[in-house]
Amino acid sequence: MNLITLLLRSSWKILTLATCIGLLSGVSTAGLLITINTHINQSSLRIILIYSFIGLCLVKFLTNIISKYLLINLAEKAIVELRLTLNERILSAPLYHLEKLGKHRILATLTDDVLAISRTVYIIPTLCIDMTIVVSCLLYLFWLSPTIFFLVVISLLLGIFSYQQIAYKATSFFTLARQQEDRLFKHFQSITEGTKELKLHKERRQIFLKQELRETAQLSRRNNVVGMTIFAVAASWGNSLFFVVVGLVIFALPTFQTIPNHILSGYALTILYLLSPLDYIMSAVPTFSQATVALQKLESLKLLLSNRCYESNLMNWDEADNFCYSLEFLGITHTYHQDSEDTAFTLGPIDLTVSGGEIVFIVGGNGSGKSTLIKLISGLYIPESGKIYFNSKLVTTENQEWFRQHFSAVFSDFYLFDNLFNLGKNIADDKIQDYLVQLQVDKKVQISNGILSTTLLSQGQRKRLALLTAYLEDRPIYVFDEWASDQDPVFKKIFYTQILPELKSKGKTVIVVTHDDQYFYLSDRIVKLDYGKVNNVYKKVTP
């Protein structure tokens, strides 16, 4: 994909119209030069030249504004569509692939790459008009004298060829700089997520700041500086070449053949006028090169994501879908492949059946695969082998999205949204306020039009709000990954002895990852994992 393709996809009709109007603007500019040159070489003032000058100024003014407006509007539309498309691709891509890519790569693309493309798209309107002006002026020069025109064109082609050779080298430095951006964003992620650790360890902080972060930033800066400097040299060379052409036309050519004054003045005037639009075009090339690198990066990410996107249908939702009668897992597996290690961790094969209205506890040591299992259970991971049946319906890649809509979950690394309207339900603020009181966060959080006043709370309090969100979703299956680990003893007891039984009484299926063995008796079954395998399944035990 290139920028022109991006704009064509957005609206080829508007692009064509804007180009035609821009062409008219360029032609009017050439007309102004012709009018000025004609007046300079005439001894008497002709009224028709005055009217022509005024008319052409008006045409140039109007066409310039209309063309720029159309292109700016088109550029903004293209950028919005680009951002939305990329975000849709990200959300439709498999979770495991996103985790392998890493947050830093995705954030770098969503911010730096899209920003680089945006900067370039914004200069396209002026660039299109300037290119039209250049073409119109060249046609005027050909009309004045084809012989001198070919001399100018040869010089121009020489300048373009040499500029492209230099630009190619500069683009390679921009590519290297963009590679460093991924590393920079990884360091930024380390700063935001590891602030506490860096504050507690002075040596680690100093090494991180003065070596890792600084080295990456300096490499990015150095590559960008070299690339921009190369472009600056090329632009200076192009400008100098034009003055050489003017000198040849004015001083050298008249010694070999007689050239009328109106041709000499026309060429000198036109070439000098061309310096401004050509300078803008050349100054825009570095921005285009950076945008090209960004587009390549963005497009490669889009292709990677789209290659792993599965078309999912929500299917027809009926009342029976809002209840879990049975959830069966037959021989499901998932493997973590580590690029830096020869070994791989495999979860499964897992055989498990969960009935409707059942409370199942999943237990096991760290690294046993508990979190991976609940991602498989909730449809966030697609099993590499095995089958999943929900209410006797086989879950496939085609109905994976439909399957996921039956789950409400609070993961250990959950994200808390402050807008409760995005649940797709109309829930009165008074009802939500009652829940806030029960969760004992009403003193710190208020609700207004479905929006929470703040989410800047302790981890335990944030988990209570996440529990509220899951509760309001009212899905048939609830999944909690170590929810009680950040709660005080009082709320931990409320969770196990009140909230879970209440969900069960409503016919909800509840799956809980936990280490709280004092509450094991409240479960209907306990599934114990040991290094990716189901070690044992215990039936309900008494306290």
Same domain, 334 and 479: yes
Query: Residues with Cβ < 8 Å from 136, sequence gap 6 or more?
Result: 23, 26, 27, 29, 30
Same domain, 465 and 442: no
pLDDT digits (tens, 9 = 90+) for 442-492: 889 998 888 889 888 888 999 999 999 898 888 999 999 999 988 889 889
Indicate whether 467 belongs to any domain. yes
The string over 485-517, giving b where at least 16 C-beta atoms fall within 10 Å of a residue's C-beta and e elsewhere, is ebbeeebbebbbeebbeebbeeebbbbbbbebe
Same domain, 137 and 278: yes
Q: Which two tokens stand for residue 181?
A: 């951006």
Contact present, 471 and 420 (Cβ < 8 Å): no
pLDDT digits (tens, 9 = 90+) for 104-159: 788 888 888 888 887 777 777 777 778 878 888 888 888 888 877 887 777 777 77
Q: Which pLDDT band, with edges at 50, 70 and 90, does 277 fall under? A: confident
Residue that the structure tokens 């003055």 belong to:
243
Indicate whether 204 belongs to any domain. no
Same domain, 83 and 148: yes
How far is CA 319 from each of CA 322, 378, 470, 476, rounded to the nearest angstrom? Answer: 6, 20, 20, 11
Same domain, 260 and 335: no
Indicate whether 209 belongs to any domain. no
Give the CATH number of the domain where residue 266 resides: 1.20.1560.10
Q: What domain range includes position 282?
A: 3-182+214-307
Indicate whether 312 belongs to any domain. no
Above 90 in pLDDT, residue 440? no
Q: Which two tokens stand for residue 300?
A: 């490669």
Same domain, 446 and 514: no
Same domain, 367 and 497: yes
Domain stop point among 241, 276, 307: 307
Same domain, 235 and 261: yes
CA 77 to mean position of chain CA atoms: 15
Same domain, 361 and 390: yes
* Number of domains within the chain: 3
Max Cα distance, the chain (Å): 114
- Is the pTM higher than 0.75? no
Indicate whether 193 belongs to any domain. no
Contact present, 186 and 104 (Cβ < 8 Å): yes
Q: Which pLDDT band, with edges at 50, 70 and 90, does 313 fall under? A: low
- Angle at the Cα of 269 (from 267 to 273), degrees rounded to 5? 115
Indicate whether 36 belongs to any domain. yes
Same domain, 30 and 95: yes
Query: Residues with Cβ < 8 Å from 367, sequence gap 6 or more?
Result: 531
pLDDT digits (tens, 9 = 90+) for 155-185: 777 777 777 777 677 777 888 887 888 888 8
Same domain, 38 and 106: yes
